[in-house]
Each structure stands twice: as structure tokens, then as C-alpha cells.
Amino acid sequence: MSDHKLVTPTPAGFTTHEVAHHFESAEQEYQAAKLGFWLFLATEIMLFGGIFAAYIFYFMNYQSDFQGAGATLNWKLGALNTLVLLTSSWTMAAAVRNAQLSQKKQMLINLGITLVCAGGFMVVKYIEYSGKLHDGVFFHIWEPVGHYAALQDLEFSQLFYRIYFTATGIHGVHVLVGMVLIAWLMLRGSKGHFHSGFYTPVDLVGLYGHVVDRIWIFLFPLLYLVP
Amino acid sequence: MADHSSDSHGDVRIDHSHHAHAVSSKLLAGIYFALVVLTIVTVVLAKTVDFGDLSLLVAVAIASVKSTLVMAIFMHLRWDTPINNIAFLSSVIFLSLLFLFTLADIFSRGEANYIGGQPVGLPG
């Protein structure tokens, strides 16, 4: 290796990115980061895969109870949240494009919309969760009231709700983590760290956000519209 | 290791080896539109059509199409290196194994649930 500092091309007004000394080129650094991240995403898919396997097993055995329990979820709020997450995925993909083209202002706007959408998703989730806790439905169903009262007559409704809270709970934590990451991107982005010569963090956080969105794409029809 | 795509400025060398692939705004908007339409299709089908035993399959199939659109375009996998595609594909393969053996378990229980004529364990 040479003693030279290796940097990527920096458009005017942006901060120069120095390639870490153990990489031969900017391309190698980028590809190494991306492969590592794809492997992490594979483990995320396996994590949720286990929950989906549990769902499939109990759904196949107790389909009618699952349908009955699923009907007590508010599918309109679920659909609203699906649209909110899809929108955030779109603006995130647009933010990556902006970073690649050194469009700082548009990137910050798109990241801002993504952050607001993720926050909106959590607000809807909070409304759903607090309503259920108030009416006696959580991992354990105790004296459910209102339209949840029907759950008492379904032997396996508690199983459904355990899967519901486990899946949406872990998913919600992922959304919160995503919000922190996007806020971090906005902070660094406002300092001019991301441009056509270096945008790896924006790209990778984008990938993470899309995987969280893709998991919800499966959770929504399976939980809110039990087949 | 210097390569053809580097210029030197004293101690600092500018490396031009990485080229960004930006997806067009039009394509991103088109994919978003398709995802919203498929979400509406999911809800309408679930509320109006009874697919019977195929209902789970239909729901998962539509979700898979949506998921693939997000992955191929929003996540750039369509233009990504083979190794990243393999990394992702490996998770799908192992997940399929998990689902396959879970389903094999469900469909092969039958008589095994009855010992001495008495039902035992799951499913009841």
C-alpha cells in the first residue's frame, strides 16, 4: 500500500471522504460495506421468518380462531400504516438518489418526510396498542371488553395476539431504530458529508428501512386481514 | 494499489473507482404507485372474495410481488453485484426450508396425534 491518502471526488461545498487505509479503492470500500449489510439483512429476514413460521403453523391448525381474533384488529389503521410505510420507502429511495447526485437540500427534505412517516407509523401503532391494553388485550388476554369481548369465546385468540404483539412489537422497535438512524443521516447530511463521491451510510440505512417496510408488507395481510 | 482511475495531488490521491447508479425519479414514482395499487388490491380481495384453502397463498403471493418490487428497485438489487444477490437469496432458501418442514409437520401428523385412540398434543 502507498503512503498516499486516498479520497473520493468531492463536489464543491461538500466534505471530503477519505477511504479507510485498509481498502485498495473507494469501490472496494463501498462493496465491502454493502455486502456486510446484505448479510445483516439476511439475518433480519431469518429473525422475522421464525415468527412467520409460528404464524403459519398455528394458522393452519386454528384458522377460524385466527380469523375471529384478527377481525378484532382495526384493518383501516393497518392499511393506513401500510400506506405511510410505503410512502416512507419511496422518499427514502428518493433520498438515496439525491445523495448520489449531490442534491443536499432535496436529500434533507426527503429524509425529513421519511422521518415524519416513520413517526406517524409509531403514533398509529401507539393508538392501537393503548386501545388494546385499555380493553384488556395484550400477550395475555384478561377480561376483554368492548368488541374484544368475543375473544373470550375463541380458544386460540390469545395465541394470535401473542404472535401479533411479538411480530409488531419487534417490527416497531425496528422502526424506532430506523428513526434514530435517519435523524443521524440528516445531521451528517446537513454538514455536507454525503455526495456523489460518498453516500454509503444513506444507501445502507435506506436498505434497512426498505427491509422493515417489506416485513410490514407481509404482516399487514396476515394479521389485519387474516386469510 | 494505484489504478487507472486515480489522480494524484501531492500526498492525496483522488479515487474515481466508484460510480453511483441513481434510479430515475420516474421509476421510483412508478414503483410507489404500483405498491399502493397492490395494497388496495390486497384489501379489496380480502374483503370481497373467498379463496377458501388458497386464501393464505393469495395473500402471500401479492405480498411477495410487492416485496420483490421494493427489493429490486428501491433497494437496487436489480443492478447490484451477484454476491449481494446471493447473500439475499441464501436467506430466502433457508427460510423456505423452515416453512417447508413446518408445513410437512402439519400435513404429516394425522394418526400420530392419536395414541391408544386418545388425542395427544397439537393439533387438538
What does the pLDDT average to over A82-107? 97
Ranking A67-76, A143-152, A155-164 by mean pLDDT, the lowest is: A143-152
d(CA B87, CA B83): 6
pLDDT tens per residue across span B71-93? 999 999 999 999 999 999 999 99
**Residue B88 — left, alpha, or beta (φ > 0 → left; ψ -120 to 50 → alpha)?**
alpha
What does the pLDDT average to over A138-159? 84
pLDDT category, A181, cuts 50, 70, 90? very high
Helices A26-61, B82-108: axis angle to 10 degrees equals 10
ipTM for the whole complex: 0.90
With contacts defined as CB-CB under 8 Å, which chain B residues touch A25?
1, 3, 15, 17-18
pLDDT exceeds cutoff 50 at A186: yes
Nearest residue in A to B67, CA atom: A214
Grid coordinates representing A130 are 393503548
**One-letter amino acid for residue B85 of the chain:** N
Grid coordinates representing B93 are 432458501
d(CA A62, CA A56): 10
Query: Hey, is the C-beta of B56 within 8 angstroms of any chain A C-beta?
Result: yes
- CB spacing of B46 vs A19 below 8 angstroms: no
Interface of B with A in 79-98 (CB under 8 A): 80-81, 83-84, 87-88, 90-92, 94-95, 98
pLDDT tens per residue across span B7-53? 666 688 898 888 888 999 999 999 999 999 999 999 999 999 888 88
With contacts defined as CB-CB under 8 Å, which chain B residues touch A29?
18
pLDDT category, B1, cuts 50, 70, 90? very low
Grid coordinates representing A223 are 394479521
Cα distances (Å, whole numbers) of residue A196 to A153, A203, B21, B22, B80: 59, 12, 10, 10, 17
pLDDT exceeds cutoff 80 at B2: no
Query: What is the per-residue pLDDT for B120?
Result: 64
d(CA B93, CA A56): 17
Closest-CA residue to A53 (of B112, B94, B53): B94
Query: Hey, is the C-beta of B112 within 8 angstroms of any chain A C-beta?
Result: no
pLDDT exceeds cutoff 60 at B124: no
- Cell 443536499 -> residue: A104
pLDDT exceeds cutoff 80 at A3: no
Under 8 Å between Cβ of A75 and A221: no
What does the pLDDT average to over B91-107? 91
Average model confidence (pLDDT) across chain A: 93
Query: What is the per-residue pLDDT for A75?
Result: 94
Closest-CA residue to A58 (of A138, A162, A140, A141): A162
DSSP E strand boundaries for B10-107: 12-15
Q: What is the dihedral of CA A21, A24, A28, A29, to 10 degrees?
A: 10
Query: What is the per-residue pLDDT for A146?
Result: 80
What does the pLDDT average to over A176-186? 97
Interface test with chain A among B4, B14, B16, B18, by most A beta carbons within 10 Å: B18
pTM of this prediction?
Answer: 0.90
Interface test with chain B among A96, A217, A223, by most B beta carbons within 10 Å: A217
The alpha carbon of residue A11 is apart from the nearest alpha carbon of chain B, in Å, by 12
DSSP conformation class of A156:
T
**Residue A146 — left, alpha, or beta (φ > 0 → left; ψ -120 to 50 → alpha)?**
left
